[in-house]
Amino acid sequence: MHTLTEEINHLKKERRAIILAHNYEPPEIQDIADITGDSLGLSVDAARLDQPVIVFCGVRFMAESAAILAPGKTVLLPRLECGCGLADMATAHALRSMRRERPEAVVVTYVNSSAEVKAESDICCTSGNAVNVVRSIPEKREIIFVPDRNLGAYVQAQTGRRLILWNGACPVHDAIRAADIIKAREKHPEALVMVHPECRPEVTQLADGVCSTGGMSDFVRQSHAQEFIVATEEGMLYPLRKAHPERIFHPVSQDSPQRMICPDMKMITLKDLRDALKKMEPVITVNPEIADRARSALERMLAVPRN
Ligand code: SF4
């Protein structure tokens, strides 16, 4: 009788597959993955690696980005219903209407968006490079920032540029309030506060560091502090504790940790992962014409210097 882990590892070899897992996935999924990280980093890895099969443990827009950046590879998303409340807030149709009203504007789209929305965009960005992407656009050009108004507000504050903000937000990060940070600081006065830029402006203003999930580990590495308050989806605590066992990490909302859980990020189980490898489904495909346009927006972003 084989364990699920053994079965997955066996199937993975047989299929020549690689398992990628987002930082917010449950610990057992992160542990069995070959690579863990943030959404775009994983998609770039997917394109770079030799394996013909990619099992993406994350949400749909991430698997789509992998399929766009790695055409010719088979991308599996073990649970097709893993969506994203933020990505759902922008549609290609609504974005086309907005573009018609402002034909001169440059559309900057956060990667947490559907392939169709990326295809309507000039350039993509991540939470880690959004400031640099906006700075790369000539001052005189108007910018429409899609779909996260909080990330857009943060970029506005950092660059001094006025952006036209799409009215979307991540339900998990948008639920964090300034009072949560104040309370957490009172409880852990020695701790530094790391906040994801998808949080509200009144929350990012209280942070010691505003970091993408990838940036949080760097922030910890560069700091001498022993304790940190982490204002993002609770799954991020696992890779932080694993990478920095000598430090202490507190979730921002200790009284009601459920608030900091993204249900879509907790759907995939080891059994789903095993079944996906066994049946080689569900496969994520993107219409080739949409994929080509979305890839152009992603590649323009990848060409922007990091600093
Ligand atoms: S945490 Fe927010 S942005 Fe990330 S997948 Fe969940 S709803 Fe989308």
Supply the residue whose CA is at minimum distance from atom 3 of ligand 1: 170
How far is the C-alpha of 99 from the C-alpha of 24, rounded, in Å? 33
How far is the C-alpha of 193 from the C-alpha of 61, rounded, in Å? 29
303 CA → ligand 1 middle, Å: 25
DSSP states along 119-173 = HT-SEEE-TTTHHHHHHTS-TTS-EEEESBHHHHHHHHHHH----EE-SB--HHH
59 CA → ligand 1 middle, Å: 8
Length of the chain: 307
- Probe target for ligand 1 pocket from 22, 25, 38, 86, with the most ligand atoms within 8 Å of CB: 86
- Of 300, 291, 293, the C-alpha closest to 64 is 291
Contact 41, 217 (CB under 8 A): no
Contact 266, 58 (CB under 8 A): no
Instruction: Give the atom of ligand 1 at the shortest distance from the alpha carbon of 87.
Output: 8
58 CA → ligand 1 middle, Å: 10
**pLDDT tens track, the chain, 307 positions:** 789 999 999 999 999 999 999 999 999 999 999 999 988 888 888 888 999 999 999 999 999 999 999 999 999 999 999 999 999 999 999 999 999 999 999 999 999 999 999 999 999 999 999 999 999 999 999 999 999 999 999 999 999 999 999 999 999 999 999 999 999 999 999 999 999 999 999 999 999 999 999 899 999 999 999 999 999 999 999 999 999 999 999 999 877 767 899 999 999 999 999 999 999 999 999 999 999 999 999 999 999 977 6
pLDDT at residue 44, as a whole number: 85
pLDDT, tens digit, 9 for 90 and up, residues 67-89: 999 999 999 999 999 999 999 99
pLDDT at residue 130, as a whole number: 95
Quote the tokens at residue 190.
Answer: 């020695």
How far is the C-alpha of 84 from the C-alpha of 286, rounded, in Å? 17
Our answer on whether the CB atom of 75 is closer than 6 Å to any ligand 1 atom is no
280 CA → ligand 1 middle, Å: 26
Structural domains in the chain, CATH included, are 4-83+265-285 (3.40.50.10800), 87-170+293-302 (3.40.50.10800), 172-261 (3.40.50.10800)
Instruction: Give the atom of ligand 1 at the shortest distance from the alpha carbon of 264.
Output: 6
pLDDT at residue 307, as a whole number: 62
Helices 60-69 and 288-302 cross at an angle (nearest 10°) of: 90
- Residue 91: burial class (beta carbons within 10 Å; 0-12, 13-18, 19+): middle
Residue listed under structure tokens 């108004």:
149
CA 273 to chain centre: 20
pLDDT at residue 11, as a whole number: 98
